[in-house]
Each structure stands twice: as C-alpha cells, then as structure tokens.
Amino acid sequence: MVAPTERSPLGFRTLLRGALVATALLTAACGGDEGPGKLFNEDGVWELTQFALEGSGIESVSNTRSANFFLQFDNANRVVQTAMCANRENADPTNSECRGFTDAQWNCQCFGYDFEGDQMAWQQFDAGGEIPVVQVGRAAADDPEPVDTDGETDGAGAEDDGAAEPAEPGSVHEFTVAEVAGVGSTYDLTPLPAGVFGSDGSVSRFVFQAKAPSQFDQVLENDEIPVCQPCI
C-alpha cells in the first residue's frame, strides 16, 4: 500500500497568499474612515480656525473669538448645522462679540447636504422643517442670479451696500473641499454659502478642524445666552 503524500510547503504557501489577497480586496472594498466616494468622514463637529473673507490673506480666528464658529454634520440624515456666537446675526470672524456681551446669542442655519469626492452641495431649510434632498452636480433649477456686490442699485432703486446677501432657502450651493497639508483632521471648505460666517458665496475661504462632539452642546444648551433650535 502506498502511503498518502504530505501537503507540499509550496502548495500551502500558495493557499496562504490567496487568502491574504482576498482579505486585502475585502478591506479595500469596505473602505476606511473616509467612506467610499468622499474625501473624508465629515460626521461630527468642526470648529472654524482660519478664514479669508476676501479669498486671500488667510488669518487665524483670534483667541477672543475661538470656539465661536462651528459646523455639526449629521451624516445619517444628511444635515449640517452652522453655529455662530455673536451679538449680531450678520457678524463674521472679524467682528463677532460673544463672551461677556449681554446681547450675544447663538445664531444657526440648517442645510441639507451631499458630499461626493471633493465636492459638497448645501441647501438651506428651516429648523424642524422638511430636509431637502441634495445631490452634488444637480443645482436647483430656480437658483437665484448671483448677488450684485459692486455697490450699484439692485434694480428697485435701493442702493447696494456691497454686503453679500444670504443664499435663498431653496437654492443649492456647491463648493470644493480640500485637505490642509500637514495639519491633522483639518479641511478647507471654500466657499461656504453667502451669509454663512460672513462668506460672500464666491471666494471666501474657511478652514475647519475636527473637535469633540461635546463642543457643540453649548450651541443647544446654555444657561448664559440664548441657544439655537436643533435642525431635526
């Protein structure tokens, strides 16, 4: 009787190599923290750290205004809430006053959003209202014409003061997202919709860094100043 032959080392190595390749392919298919099809995982809270309202000469948010400007992304519901602590609804990172001012409050806006590759699309809605379905690359057909900011009249006889008007609630605003090299969990969102943190909706630059979710608690619950209503 002929004894059964032992499995050759070469055959075992071939099987092991095949298993490792299959594991690697499965891992790649599942994707990492960034998720498939987008630059990074946006879910959570982000604080504004740098800005350039005119598109150049980027500067850091001053120490007296730190933790005054946030984004909170809810990936499951495709909702982002902006939050600014200031004594004026139309303030921006250069002139907002928050801590120590009796008339300061949290000012917020709600947007449905989509995120694909390095592109985001936002559409505003009222807190507690129906969340709009937004898709990158498909702007609303009724988007308003760009706001005239050259100081001329708006056609109704009123003089334009040069400030960007906030985007209409039904309009879709699409913009680019870029990673900030050399700084962890930090991204450039340029430009935010007109009126958000002083954005002109065209060239204004904003840099955000990931923060702990608890940082946003003060926006919705605060014993010292008026707070915002959750978007949903």
Tell me the average confidence (pLDDT) per consecutive run of 10 residues in the chain, 232 residues long: 46 40 35 64 98 96 96 98 96 94 96 98 98 87 44 42 54 97 96 97 98 98 96 98
Residue 5 confidence (pLDDT): 46
Quote the pTM value.
0.74
Q: How buried is residue 10: exposed, middle or buried, by Cβ count under 10 Å (0-12/13-18/19+)?
A: exposed
Residue 224 confidence (pLDDT): 92
Residue 34 confidence (pLDDT): 46
- Rounded Cα distance between 129 and 123, Å, is 13
Q: What are phi and psi for residue 231, nearest 5 degrees? A: -65, -35
- Rounded Cα distance between 15 and 45, Å, is 45
Residue 168 confidence (pLDDT): 52
Token digits for 163? 């400030």
- Rounded Cα distance between 192 and 201, Å, is 6
DSSP class of 179 = E
Residue 167 confidence (pLDDT): 52
Token digits for 108? 């917020």
Residues counted in the chain: 232
C-alpha R_g of the chain? 24
Q: 133 and 122 in contact (C-beta within 8 Å)?
A: no
Residue 138 confidence (pLDDT): 82
